[in-house]
């Protein structure tokens, strides 16, 4: 009896384990996003499907009344991917739709999609290689030579690489248009790599010259305008009731983002808040910039305080340096093309996240290049950056005729990035761009949750593009709460916003 | 809300899987917000709400894609989908995108997405997914055209763009099948895309470009009269006669009515297809699509004109059944499409 009991008990163990497993799988299934809808861009948990359906039914009833439908003309929509929240906020408009769903309380890296089943597994979403080209402008031989040269560099066949880079140079010289220019920069970068000419670290050229290049880039393309505009929109929404707004700009440069924000604050209903700006940078001109902004502030009636923080690297920043006044002010952290620079050293991004968290910002606005230029394998990095910068140069070619100086300076601005991505390594390689998907993982793991950018920001950014854009090929795209600026369906930069998990806002 | 409306909602819930119902209802409600009574369209909100995906040269499930600017003067983009190369380990470099197709006969489907001439794009997630499935099922190349949309770009812009795309595909040396050094072209589309396919095929016939077949999924046609199916199914399965009218008004030239041949190819104003060079057609009709009488009439019209047509009348299918692979109609139609485009290789 005992024996058989033992036997049966050992047999019973197996089923009970598998039953537990089955039950667990089922729970996981229910907590998983519906795969089929996920592939189409909608995140709906299987367990929520019936509830979402019910909400849509209710919404249909509400909308079928023409009066109600009219009221929805001015609704601001957020994150259409999250159907449950979208439907809910349509039904109950007073709810704060930028607030993330409870599901986002877990790390955003846990996308709840079963790996291996759906077409959009993690590995593929982090490494899409986005390609766009103009079929009327071939330059095939040029690209052939470029890629072959990069392959030779990858396999360390330097004599072949040397021969090829010379060929690229001569082909590029006779290639018209964007392709020729891109190829010239990539050829130079390859040459430096082959001849082991290492461009010295970031501080090599005068930082103020770097800023001048950026200013031309700002003037002649819509990318920075889009970045500043969308970031400012998110900031404004986050500080509506603040009496003192303290913006920490992790890369102040020429301060081009701030006059518009100050003006918007000046016009705030109920009067402007006090505005404190802490500009982080490494050029000597920061103080003067602060003085100019102070004059503007005075002219528009905004109480203003400025502080310059000159540091070598962002990781030199310590929370105390910002001298925040938590009892009276609302802190905002802003970063336009700065976060990726700290990925060049292990441990740095964690330090920066910690510093940012320590000042308890109500929102963090982040703009980054939408590309993966931080891959370990050189050839992959080369290919991806070739595609990315080809698109970028293509967008410069199009549209309104640029004054030649603006164009040349903008190209030089981009050219420096290319040199950095292709020709440098280690701590010198600071242009370590990563995609929104990758950044979402990083921010999620660091304890931040997304703040969604809405349809009003989208619309205004689109209108802005039409005015300043210059080319028909620009499009604003919404992506799971973030906004991207794309050229010919290829995203170039992405604006996202974050806040501390469990924080106010 | 009227009791009949309530019944409608419940009815539509019983004929499709729940996630399909959620997907299509979401579109319906969102689209309601976009169409303004004065005939204008909330394009910004439409683009905000549309779920888009980038092209991806990294193969996913054996398919990779890339975007091509076919005509810069009108900013005409297309997305090309190809099956992964058999000897390939890395994602193809930019040079290898245009590697010649490897086969005696390789069908190339020129695809026009739906959206009633106003909605969606080649990079809409629903259509990117559908095109990828077509490549997988048919083992062909798919070129999806990002045509200009109404109401900003009404008739004949979409047709013109389709025609430019057809010429582009026809002249790509890397799309030529080995057997005869020609591109083996099929035109395909759903909803308005099906309508565009028909009209591009007409022009192809007049101009001597050989189109091997047309695949029309729930093609968008209409006419002046209210057919029985329109009256009976109005509002019952996601679509209303009123919204159909809105889209025709947005697409057709100012002052035109639904007798215009773009809307009703077999109206008295349409050209006869008798003796005309026209490809064989696969016409898929969903029985719960309120315009199915027009679609059946279209198939009948082709037949009467002596053109080759295969009709698939799926009586229990609704609009959009082909967007998710969770129903029998989806699989049946995919099999038919595969047989249709591969008929030459097998026959």
Residues B39-87: tens digit of each pLDDT: 999 999 999 999 999 999 889 999 999 999 999 889 999 999 999 887 7
Per-residue confidence band for A115, with pLDDT thresholds at 50, 70 and 90? very low
Best to test chain A binding among B4, B5, B26 (most A CBs inside 10 Å) = B26
Which of A30, A40, A488 has the most B C-beta neighbours within 10 Å, making it the best mutation to test the interface with B? Answer: A40
Q: Write the CB contacts of A166 (distance below 8 Å, at least 6 apart in sequence).
A: none
Of residues B120 and B90, more confidently modeled = B120
| Closest listed residue to residue B74, CA positions, set B196, B158, B133 | B158
Taking the C-alpha atoms of residue A195 and residue A158, their distance in angstroms, rounded to an integer, is 9
Using a pLDDT cut of 70, give the percent of chain B over it.
95
pLDDT at A467: 86
- For residue B71, list chain A residues with Cβ-Cβ distance below 8 A: 136
Give chain B's count of helices (H) and strands (E). Answer: 11, 8
**What pLDDT is attached to residue A397?**
80
Structural domain contains residue A283: yes
- DSSP percent split of chain B into helix, strand, coil, nearest 5: 40, 20, 40
Across the interface, do A41 and B52 touch by the CB < 8 Å criterion? Answer: yes
Give the tens place of pLDDT for each residue, A401-413.
Answer: 667 778 888 889 9
- Please give the structure tokens belonging to residue A344: 């060049």
Distance of CA A381 to CAs A116, A424, B66, B87, B188, Å? 25, 12, 18, 22, 37
Nearest chain B residue to A33, by CA: B19
Q: Is residue A25 part of a domain?
A: no
- Residue A351: the pLDDT is 97
- Indicate the pTM of the whole model: 0.89
User: Mean pLDDT across chain A, nearest whole number?
Assistant: 84
> Which residues are within 8 A (CB) of B232 and not within 5 positions of it... i.e. 6 or more apart?
B290
With H, G, I as helix, E, B as strand and everything else as coil, classify residue A70. Answer: helix
Per-residue tokens: B203:
């022009």
Annotation marks residue B121 as catalytic? no
Structure tokens of B231? 């009256």
CA distances from A386 to A150, A297, A373, A474, B66 (A): 11, 43, 10, 19, 14
Task: Tell me whether residue A320 is in a domain.
Answer: yes
Pure H helices in B234-307: 241-251, 292-304
pLDDT per position as a tens digit, A34-78: 999 999 999 999 999 999 999 999 999 888 776 666 667 778 999
| Sequence-distant (≥ 6) Cβ neighbours of residue A66 within 8 angstroms | none
Is pLDDT of A127 > 70?
no
Q: Which of B16-25, B263-272, B337-346 has the lowest mean pLDDT?
A: B337-346
Confidence of residue B247 (pLDDT cuts 50, 70, 90): very high
Q: Which residue has the tokens 């989908």?
A: B81
Nearest residue to B20 via CA among A267, A350, A49? A49
pLDDT in tens, B22-38: 999 999 999 999 999 99
In a domain, A18, yes or no: no
Q: Name which residue leads in pLDDT, B92 or B243.
A: B243
The answer to whether residue A343 sits within a structural domain is yes
**Helix A83-91 crosses helix B18-34 at what angle (to 10 degrees)?**
50
**Please, what is the angle between helix A49-64 and helix B18-34, to 10°?**
30
The pLDDT tens digits for B171-210 are 999 999 999 999 999 999 999 999 999 999 999 999 999 9
Q: Exposed/middle/buried for A35, CB within 10 Å: 0-12, 13-18, 19+?
A: middle
Residues in chain B with CB shorter than 8 Å from the CB of A88 are none
d(CA A67, CA A14): 62
Task: Name the percent of chain A in helix, strand, coil, to the closest 5.
Answer: 55, 15, 30
Tell whether A156 is covered by a domain: no
pLDDT classification of A128: cutoffs 50, 70, 90: low
Inter-chain touch A40–B47, beta carbons under 8 Å: no
| C-alpha distances in Å from residue A13, one per residue of A3, A281, B132 | 15, 64, 45
Can you list the positions of beta strands (E) in B72-183?
A: 76-83, 107-112, 141-145
Structure token digits, residue A238? 């986050």
Identify the pLDDT of residue A120: 35
Q: Which two tokens stand for residue A339?
A: 């976060």
Q: What is the mean pLDDT of residues B93-105?
A: 84
CA distance A371 to A126: 10
Model confidence at B323: pLDDT above 90: yes
pLDDT above 50: residue A332: yes
Compute the CA torsion angle A236, A241, A243, A248 (nearest 10 deg). -30
CB pair distance less than 8 Å for B56 and A129: yes
Residues of B in contact with A127 (CB under 8 A): 58
Give me the mean pLDDT over the A153-179 stretch: 89
Nearest to B263 by CA among B198, B325, B166, B181: B198
Residue A432 host element (H or E): none
CA distance B289 to A108: 39
- pLDDT over 90 percentage in chain A: 61
Task: List, for residues B137-171, the tens digit of each pLDDT value.
Answer: 999 999 999 999 999 999 999 999 999 999 999 99
How many domains does chain A contain in total? 1
pLDDT score of B6: 60
* Nearest in space to A233 (alpha carbons), one of A502, A496, A504: A496
A369's enclosing H/E stretch is: strand A363-369
Domains, chain B, with CATH or none? 14-85+105-342 (3.40.50.1820)
Q: What is the mean pLDDT of residues A307-329?
A: 95
The rounded mean pLDDT for chain B is 94
Contacts A60 to B, Cβ<8 Å: 5, 9, 25, 28-29
Strand partners, A368: A494
Question: Would you put residue B62 in left (φ > 0), alpha (ψ -120 to 50) or beta?
Answer: left
Q: Is the pLDDT of residue A200 over 60?
A: no
Question: Residue A248 has which token pair?
Answer: 């920490």
Residue A136, domain member (yes or no)? no
| Complex ipTM | 0.93
**CA–CA distance, A41 with A31 (Å, rounded to integer):** 17
The single-letter DSSP state of residue A78 is: B
Confidence of residue A215 (pLDDT cuts 50, 70, 90): confident
User: What does the pLDDT read at residue A95?
Assistant: 64
pLDDT for the residue numbered A65? 73
A447 close to B (CB below 8 A)? no
Q: Does the beta-carbon distance from A130 to B68 stay under 8 Å?
A: no
Which one has a higher pLDDT value, B98 or B114? B114
Q: Cβ–Cβ of A37/B52 closer than 8 Å?
A: no
Phi/psi at B342 (nearest 5 deg)? -105, 10
Cα–Cα distance measured from residue A66 to residue B159, given in angstroms and rounded to the nearest whole number: 34
From B65, B191, B192, B229, the catalytic residue: B191
| Cβ-based contacts of B122 with chain A (< 8 Å) | 489
Could you say which of B9, B18, B57 has the minimum Cβ distance to residue A129?
A: B57
What residues make up the domain containing A461? Answer: 207-370+433-500
pLDDT of amino acid A144: 83
pLDDT of residue A126: 36
Partners of B132 on chain A (C-beta within 8 Å) are 119
Mutate to test the interface with A, among B35, B45, B238 (most CBs of A within 10 A): B45
Q: For chain B, say whether A319 makes contact (Cβ under 8 Å).
A: no
For residue A370, the chain B residue with the least C-alpha distance is: B54
DSSP state of A327: T
Q: Are the beta carbons of B326 and B275 closer than 8 angstroms?
A: no
Q: What average pLDDT does range A213-227 have in this prediction? A: 89
Six-digit token string for A355: 């510093």
- The rounded distance, in Å, linking the Cα atoms of B280 and A390 is 41
Which residues, including other chains, have CB under 8 Å from residue B130's CB and lie 6 or more apart? Answer: B190, B322, B323
Listed ranges A185-199, A200-214, A341-355; the one with the highest mean pLDDT: A341-355
Q: In terms of pLDDT, which residue wins out, A387 or B264?
A: B264
User: What is the Cβ-side half-sphere exposure of residue A305, based on CA atoms within 13 angstroms?
Assistant: 14
The CA distance from A326 to A361, in Å, is 10
In contact, A430 and A420? CB cutoff 8 Å: yes
| Total CB pairs under 8 A between chain A and B | 174
- Residue A136 pLDDT > 60, yes or no? no
User: What is chain B's length?
Assistant: 347
Nearest chain A Cα distance for residue B94, angstroms: 7
Q: Which residue has the higher pLDDT, B330 or A398?
A: B330
Q: Are the C-beta atoms of residues A149 and A168 closer than 8 Å to each other? A: yes
> What is the mean predicted confidence (pLDDT) over B113-121?
98
Contact A489 B79 (CB under 8 A): yes
The CATH code of the domain that includes A212 is: 3.40.50.150
> Chain centroid to CA A81: how far?
18
By DSSP bridging, strand B63-71 and strand B107-112 are unpaired
Q: What is the mean pLDDT of residues B301-315?
A: 97
The answer to whether position A348 is within a domain reads: yes
Asked if B94's CB is within 8 angstroms of A80's CB, the reply is: no
């Amino acid at each position: 009896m005992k024996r058989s009991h033992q036997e049966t008990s050992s047999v019973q163990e197996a089923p009970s384990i598998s039953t537990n497993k089955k039950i667990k799988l089922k729970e996981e299934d229910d907590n998983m996003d519906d795969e089929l809808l996920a592939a189409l861009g909608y995140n709906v948990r299987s367990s929520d499907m019936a509830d979402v359906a019910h909400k849509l039914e209710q919404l249909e009833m509400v909308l079928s009344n023409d009066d109600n439908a009219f009221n929805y003309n001015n609704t601001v929509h957020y994150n259409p991917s999250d159907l449950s929240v979208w439907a809910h906020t349509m039904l109950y408009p007073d709810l704060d739709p930028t607030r993330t769903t409870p599901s986002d309380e877990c790390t955003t890296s846990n996308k709840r999609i079963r790996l291996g089943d759906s077409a959009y597994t993690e590995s593929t979403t982090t490494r899409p290689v986005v390609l766009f080209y103009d079929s009327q402008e071939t330059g095939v031989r040029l690209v052939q030579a470029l890629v072959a040269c990069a392959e030779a560099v990858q396999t360390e066949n330097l004599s072949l690489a040397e021969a090829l880079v010379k060929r690229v140079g001569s082909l590029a010289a006779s290639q018209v248009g964007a392709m020729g220019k891109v190829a010239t920069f990539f050829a130079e970068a390859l040459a430096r790599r082959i001849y082991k000419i290492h461009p010295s670290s970031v501080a090599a050229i005068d930082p103020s010259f770097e800023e001048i290049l950026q200013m031309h880039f700002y003037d002649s393309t819509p990318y920075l305008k889009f970045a500043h505009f969308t970031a400012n929109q998110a900031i404004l929404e986050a500080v509506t009731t603040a009496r003192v707004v303290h913006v920490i700009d992790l890369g102040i440069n020429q301060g081009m983002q701030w006059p518009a924000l100050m003006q918007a604050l000046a016009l705030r209903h109920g009067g402007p808040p006090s505005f404190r700006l802490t500009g982080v940078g490494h050029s000597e001109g920061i103080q003067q910039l602060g003085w100019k902004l102070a004059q503007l502030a005075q002219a528009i009636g905004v109480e203003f305080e400025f502080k310059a923080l000159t540091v070598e690297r962002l990781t030199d920043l310590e929370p105390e340096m910002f001298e925040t006044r938590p009892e009276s002010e609302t802190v905002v952290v802003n970063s336009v093309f700065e976060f990726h620079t700290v990925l060049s050293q292990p441990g740095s991004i964690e330090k920066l996240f910690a510093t940012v968290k320590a000042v308890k910002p109500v929102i963090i606005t982040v703009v980054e290049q939408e590309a993966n230029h931080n891959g370990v394998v050189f050839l992959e990095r080369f290919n991806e950056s070739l595609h990315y910068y080809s698109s970028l140069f293509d967008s410069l070619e199009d549209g309104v005729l640029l004054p030649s100086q603006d164009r040349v300076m903008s190209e030089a601005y981009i050219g420096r990035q290319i040199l950095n991505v292709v020709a440098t390594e280690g701590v010198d390689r600071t242009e370590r761009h990563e995609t929104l998907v990758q950044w979402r993982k990083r921010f999620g793991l660091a304890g931040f949750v997304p703040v969604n950018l809405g349809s009003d920001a989208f619309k205004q950014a689109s209108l802005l593009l039409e005015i300043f854009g210059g080319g028909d090929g620009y499009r604003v795209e919404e992506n799971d709460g973030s906004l991207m600026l794309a050229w010919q369906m290829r995203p170039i930069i992405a604006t996202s916003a974050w806040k501390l998990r469990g924080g106010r806002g | 809300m009227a009791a009949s409306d309530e019944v409608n909602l419940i009815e539509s819930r019983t004929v499709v899987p729940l996630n399909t119902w959620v997907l299509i209802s979401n579109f319906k409600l969102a689209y309601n917000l976009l169409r303004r009574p004065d005939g204008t369209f909330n394009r910004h909100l439409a683009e905000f709400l549309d779920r888009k995906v980038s092209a991806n040269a990294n193969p996913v499930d054996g398919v990779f894609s890339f975007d091509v600017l076919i005509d810069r003067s009108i900013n005409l983009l297309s997305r090309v989908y190809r099956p992964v190369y058999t000897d390939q380990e890395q994602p193809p470099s930019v040079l290898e995108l245009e590697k010649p197709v490897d086969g005696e006969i390789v069908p190339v489907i020129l695809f026009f997405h739906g959206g009633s001439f106003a909605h969606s794009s080649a990079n809409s997630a629903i259509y990117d997914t559908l095109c990828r499935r077509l490549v997988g099922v048919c083992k062909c190349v798919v070129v999806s055209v990002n045509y200009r949309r109404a109401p900003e770009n009404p008739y004949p812009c979409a047709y013109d763009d389709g025609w430019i795309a057809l010429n582009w595909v026809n002249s790509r040396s890397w799309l030529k099948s080995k057997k005869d050094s020609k591109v083996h072209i099929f035109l395909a589309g759903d909803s308005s895309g099906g309508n565009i396919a028909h009209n591009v095929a007409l022009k192809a016939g007049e101009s001597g470009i050989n189109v091997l077949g047309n695949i029309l999924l729930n093609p968008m046609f209409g006419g002046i009269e209210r057919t029985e199916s329109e009256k009976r199914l109005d509002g019952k399965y996601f679509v209303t006669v009123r919204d159909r009218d809105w889209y025709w008004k947005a697409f057709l030239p100012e002052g035109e009515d639904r007798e215009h041949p773009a809307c009703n190819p077999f109206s008295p104003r349409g050209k006869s297809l008798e003796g005309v060079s026209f490809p064989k057609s696969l016409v898929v009709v969903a029985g719960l699509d309120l315009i199915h009488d027009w679609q059946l009439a279209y198939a009948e019209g082709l037949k009467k004109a002596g053109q080759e047509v295969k009709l698939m009348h799926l009586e229990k299918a609704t609009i959009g059944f082909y967007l998710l692979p969770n129903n029998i109609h989806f699989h049946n139609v995919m099999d038919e499409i595969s047989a249709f485009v591969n008929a030459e290789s097998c026959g």
